[in-house]
Chain A
Amino acid sequence: MTTSPTTSTMALIEGHKPITPASGIPVWDIDPYDVELLRDPSAYYAKLRELGEVVYIPRYSVLAVGRYEITRKVFSDHENFLSSRGVGLNDFKLEDPWRPPSIILEVDQPEHTRTRKVMSRALSPKVVKGFADLFRETADTLVDQLLAKGTIEAVTDLAEAFPTTVFPKAVGMKDVNPRHLVDYGAMVFNAVGPDNALRREAMSHAGEIVPWINAACTRDRLTEDGLGAMVYASAEDGTLTEAEAGMLVRSFLSAGVDTTVTGIGNALWCLSQNPEQWQALKRDPSLIRPAFEEVLRYTSPVHTFGRTAGGATEIAGFPVEEGTKVLCVLGAANMDPDKWGDPEVFRIDRKPVGHVAFGAGIHGCVGQNIARGELEAVLGALIEKVDRIEPAGEAVWRPGNAIRALDRLPITLIPN
């Protein structure tokens, strides 16, 4: 299947140019998108780090990095490793992407600077503080309802229920369809992987969902007082065109729901598995924010995103040819013992500044304040009302080409 092509007429692999890796780069014949591996990636992460600074994966003809320093370096080196050619396996320069590219995630400087500024203003800590009451009241109500039930399936009942309630309100969406929001996220994130069953399944819903999403992002489908309106305000002062504003609102919906659903589910998993850490959190609520950082480090909700070498460059001294796709395995970097000492231990007071769960550098997650705000509300409501969180069955992970989320998490909430 994979050959070492030398001409420009060669067939593409997963929509990108196959490469001949520099000699000395370890070769590892593995499918990093295998569903069993994705359900429990820890052995893959460990071996990837062990093999070297950079590894060649022939199945997709890509390079992969997983050690902390090099992963952070490549992922944030926007000069040499581009985002505009897609952060998945497809090279947008060689093949049309499945949707018009994002004008923030999938662009480089200088274009990126303009849209990024609009988004970081709309999602600043100050703006997000304005949502604190909405987030907390919603969390209080939801937790009360769930306590009445006792045993819950935390993925649907809490992890999905919370963001799909508050986020559309924060954005100011008039159209409500929680299922479409969750499924759109699944499409966007599975699309960065190979053309496997995960991607095909997620994409099979496109016909129904994409038109709904596009319509929901238009100005007349948004209220005057939400994040969406703030973005459209930049169309008035001439920073953006109206169409660009719509595209940026679309990026809220692409990146803002599935990710926080995953963050909440993963947090509940960590705390239900580590009761002594849950008790520590109850004793000291000032650890809520650091606890979420540790959840992010420990579970890496976005486990892998890629970059494309814009020209001939190098990684750790090895030459890298133009057009090379590089998988940046954020999950492996966040578990690197050389960086974290005891990465396998979940410690809410670790304060893991520098983790790469939100990326790093100019593309570092622009929605991170929203994510923190949501988690602060949910964990705040839980520690106030719940005495213990106990597993009530097996936690099942859902394989994803970019997202590592739970599929099912049965737990019992025991009230104070």
Chain B
Amino acid sequence: MVKVTYVAHDGTRTELDGDPGDSVMSLAIAQGIDGIVGECGGSMMCATCHCYVDEDWAETAGPRMDGEEDMLESAACEVTERSRLSCQIKLTEALDGLVVHLPEEQV
């Protein structure tokens, strides 16, 4: 089990239990987290799964995937150093406790 905390734009925190292999996006969709849309289902075509990885987790979450940078350009909210497409963050045991912050809007 891998715990992930989603912090909504208004500060509301939701903690979910995922399995290794889930993505931060797919877990959020399966559990009905509002702040992630994931319109393209994880094909890296929509940028509606934008999130900011918490400072403490930036290193463990790793660098952006090939092509992620390009698609982030289409994100609805500001893109920062910590911006990731949550469909590209695959859960591993090492990410147990991961915290991600969600942007104000995705479209």
Contacts and interface: CB of A to CB of B under 8 A. Distances in A.
Nearest to A117: B67
Q: How large is the interface on A (under 10, 10 to 19, 20 to 34, 35 or more residues)?
A: 20 to 34
A383 interface: no
Nearest to B47: A125
Interface in B36-76: 37-47, 66-67, 70-71, 73-74
B73 A126 contact: yes
B45 A353 contact: no
A35 to B, nearest CB: 31
Nearest to B73: A126
Q: How large is the interface on B (under 10, 10 to 19, 20 to 34, 35 or more residues)?
A: 20 to 34
A365 B70 contact: no
A365 B41 CA distance: 11
B29 interface: yes
Given A353-B41, A355-B41, A360-B41, A125 B46 contact: yes
Contacts of A121: 70
Contacts of B38: 353
Contacts, number: 64
A289 interface: yes
A233 to B, nearest CB: 14
Contact of A120 (B41, B71, B107): B71
Interface string A107-151: 000000100110011011110000000000000000000000000
A289 B38 CA distance: 12
B70 A364 contact: no
Contact of A354 (B41, B66, B70, B74): B41
Of the listed residues A353, A356, A364, the one surrounded by the most CB atoms of chain B closer than 10 A to its CB is: A353
A257 B41 CA distance: 22
A125 B41 contact: no
B73 A360 contact: no
A289 B73 contact: no
Given A125-B74, A126-B74, A120 B44 contact: yes
A130 B76 CA distance: 14
Contacts of B73: 124, 126
A358 B44 contact: no
A366 interface: yes
Contacts of B37: 353
10 A-B pairs with the lowest CB-CB distances in the bound complex, closest first: A364-B43, A125-B74, A126-B74, A124-B74, A353-B29, A353-B38, A354-B41, A121-B70, A368-B45, A117-B67
21 contacts: A113-B66, A113-B67, A116-B67, A117-B66, A121-B70, A124-B45, A125-B45, A125-B74, A126-B74, A293-B39, A355-B41, A358-B40, A359-B43, A360-B41, A362-B43, A364-B42, A364-B43, A364-B45, A365-B45, A368-B40, A368-B46
